[in-house]
């Protein structure tokens, strides 16, 4: 049976159209599979961990220990980059604006994700929506220290000296609006003393001046001051948590030392830019939680008096919400605000 030329032409056209559709579908599948494959292979190169404070402080010390172990877990090096300034806002903003691919992550803190939104009139990021939470890592006590040449050896002696000479002495912190600044302001309020705040760009530079005697008093995270206390270069008068530190069982809490109602502490957590694929976040979360569960890492962090926590991304997101709600009224009551 013969076919008309028109029918044969239509058949050829239909076959050609079907082949084009099939090819387009294959191409679409290939394009869709490409990013998925890239995500499943993550990481294929080194990762940058931005620490939004100067080197030598508590966040820096904790971050380097965890970054080293996470790099082993992921099979790629994690390079630490210190970007201090604006109470942590500069480094945090840099990560918020980075490509959401998991290769730039942030060591966030109570400052970057709870205090700064209440302190700064203008923020370069949103603590909740600009980031993809990865994992809560550690909680860290704060400590009140003095230079050994200053005189006081207890909180009671310090308060007595400060009340005798109001406004004559100063205390150092890691920066305006930092948890340590607010620790100092809370101490002033509850102890009824007048001391002048001197902000630094991180705990490291502040420690240098306090150890050197340029500033007599400091509020610091316990990890960065630990070695100075152990070697006698600083005297630790009290920790700021409800319970004593296992590293310094003889050091009283602020409440035990007579400053009723006093409690502050810091925490560290990992964040990626918002929009980072869930598969990538999951890999980073798994590596982070494995890192802080490692006995050697726990041992290293314990030296700094940092307690490991660990969490899911969702739990960290809820933690940030709770911390924002907790600190906003405290910051308001302190009267601290930064332009």
Question: What's 179's domain CATH number?
Answer: 3.40.190.10
- Give me the pLDDT at residue 186, please: 87
Residue 180 in any domain: the answer is yes
* Segment 91-139, tens digit of pLDDT: 999 999 999 999 999 999 999 999 999 999 999 999 999 999 999 999 8
Clarify whether residues 95 and 150 are in a common domain: no
Residue 32 neighbours by CB under 8 Å, 6+ apart: none
Residues 6+ apart with CB under 8 A from 37: none
Residue ranges of the chain with per-residue pLDDT less than 50: 1-2, 5, 7-9, 11-13, 19, 22-24, 26, 31-34
Residue 29 has a pLDDT of 52
Indicate whether 68 and 207 sit together in one domain: no
From residue 45, how far is each of 41, 136, 275 by CA, in Å? Answer: 10, 24, 20
- The verdict on residue 278 lying in a domain is yes
**Measured at the alpha carbon of residue 139, what is the angle toward residues 228 and 130, in degrees to the nearest 5?**
120
Tell me: do 116 and 152 sit in the same domain. no
Q: 183 and 159: one domain?
A: yes
Please report whether residue 225 resides in a domain. Answer: yes
- Determine how many CB atoms are found less than 10 A away from the CB of residue 290: 16
Give the separation between CA 159 and CA 35, rounded to whole angstroms: 61
Q: Cα-Cα-Cα-Cα dihedral of 133, 135, 141, 142, to 10°?
A: -30
- Taking a C-beta distance cutoff of 8 angstroms, is the pair 240, 254 a contact? yes
Q: How far apart are CA 222 and CA 11, in angstroms?
A: 80
Q: Which of 220, 239, 258 is the last residue of a domain?
A: 239
Asked if residue 231 is part of any domain, the answer here is yes
Residue 229 lies in a domain: yes
Phi, psi of 15 (to 5 degrees): -65, -40
Distance separating alpha carbons of residues 18 and 25, to the nearest angstrom: 10
What's the total number of domains in the chain?
2
User: Same domain for 280 and 312?
Assistant: yes
| 160 and 77 both lie in a single domain | no
Is 257 among the domain residues? Answer: no
Using DSSP, state whether 43 is helix, strand or coil. Answer: coil
Other CB atoms within a 10 A radius of the CB of residue 79 amount to: 12
**Is residue 309 domain-shared with residue 322, that is, in the same domain?**
yes
Same domain, 136 and 279: yes
Structural domain boundaries, residue 212: 141-239
Looking at the fold, whether 289 and 206 belong to one and the same domain comes out as: no
Pair 148, 227 in one domain: yes
Whether 16 maps to a domain, the answer reads no
Same domain, 176 and 196: yes
Residue 302 belongs to domain with CATH number = 3.40.190.150
Beta bridge partners of 139: 267, 307
What lies within 8 Å, CB to CB, of 113 at 6+ separation is: 92, 127, 131, 269, 271, 320, 323, 324
Residue 121: closest CA among 336, 338, 335, 332: 338
Q: Does residue 128 sit in the same domain as residue 156?
A: no
């Amino acid at each position: 049976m013969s076919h008309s030329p028109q029918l044969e032409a239509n058949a050829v056209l239909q076959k050609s159209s079907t082949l084009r559709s099939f090819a387009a579908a294959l191409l679409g599948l290939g394009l869709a599979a490409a990013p998925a494959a890239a995500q499943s292979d993550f990481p294929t190169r080194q990762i940058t961990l931005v620490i939004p404070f100067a080197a030598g402080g508590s966040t820096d010390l904790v971050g380097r220990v965890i970054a080293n172990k996470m790099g082993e877990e992921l099979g790629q090096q994690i390079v630490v980059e210190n970007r201090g300034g604006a109470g942590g806002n500069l480094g945090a903003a840099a990560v918020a604006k980075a490509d959401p691919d998991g290769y730039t992550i942030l060591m966030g803190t109570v400052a970057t994700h709870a205090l700064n939104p209440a302190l700064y009139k203008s923020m370069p990021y949103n603590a909740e929506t600009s980031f993809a939470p990865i994992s809560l890592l550690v909680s860290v006590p704060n400590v009140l220290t003095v230079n050994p040449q200053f005189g006081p050896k207890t909180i009671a002696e310090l308060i007595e000296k400060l009340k005798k000479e109001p406004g004559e002495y100063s205390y150092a912190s890691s920066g305006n609006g930092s948890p340590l600044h607010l620790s100092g302001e809370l101490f002033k309020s509850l102890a009824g003393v007048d001391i002048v705040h001197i902000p630094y760009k991180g705990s490291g530079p502040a420690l240098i001046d306090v150890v050197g005697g340029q500033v007599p008093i400091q509020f610091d995270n316990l990890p960065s001051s630990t070695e100075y206390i152990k070697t006698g270069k600083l005297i630790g008068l009290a920790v700021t948590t409800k319970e004593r530190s296992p590293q310094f069982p003889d050091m009283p809490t602020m409440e035990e030392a007579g400053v009723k109602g006093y409690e502050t502490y810091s925490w560290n957590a990992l964040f990626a830019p918002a929009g980072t694929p869930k598969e990538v976040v999951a890999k980073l979360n798994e590596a982070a939680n494995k890192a802080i569960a490692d006995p050697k890492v726990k041992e290293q962090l314990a030296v700094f008096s940092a307690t490991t926590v660990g969490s899911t991304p969702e739990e960290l997101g809820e933690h940030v919400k709770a911390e924002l709600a907790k600190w906003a009224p405290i910051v308001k009551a302190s009267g601290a605000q930064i332009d």
